[in-house]
Amino acid sequence: MAGGDPLNQNRPDGADREERLLRITGAIADGVSVDWEAEMKQSPDLRGVLQRLALVERIRNAARASDQG
């Protein structure tokens, strides 16, 4: 998935892909835990981007922990 807009890959399933990705990034923004294993099973085409987002979620959690510390 190198280069390009992750939300518009000019593919027939682009809208569905966008919807799935924004549902997950929305959950991160909301502070809701994401079941990464389930998401990767459900969306193997998004595996790479999901791995990165899992890291972003951990960074968010670390920031929250630091806030409370």
Partner 1 sequence: MHTTSFLLGRMKAGDERAVEVLFERLIPVLRRMARGRIPARARSLMDTEDLVQIVALRTFPHLNHFDSHGKGCLVAYARRIMTNELRDEFRRLSRTPEMTELVDEIPADDVDPLQRAIESEAIAVYRRALAQLTQDEQDLILLSLETGLSHGEVAEAMGRPSANAARMAVARALARLAERMGWPEETP
Q: How far is the CB of 4 from partner 1 (least distance, A)?
A: 8
- CB-based contact 47:22 (threshold 8 Å): no
Interface of this chain with partner 1, residues 6 to 65, rule: CB under 8 A: 6-7, 21-22, 25-26, 28-30, 47-49, 51-53, 55-56, 58-65
Nearest to 60 by CA among 37, 30, 40: 30
- Residue 36 neighbours by CB under 8 Å, 6+ apart: 50, 54
Q: How far is the CB of 65 from partner 1 (least distance, A)?
A: 6
- CB-based contact 46:18 (threshold 8 Å): no
* Binding residues vs partner 1 (CB under 8 A): 1-2, 4-7, 21-22, 25-26, 28-30, 47-49, 51-53, 55-56, 58-69
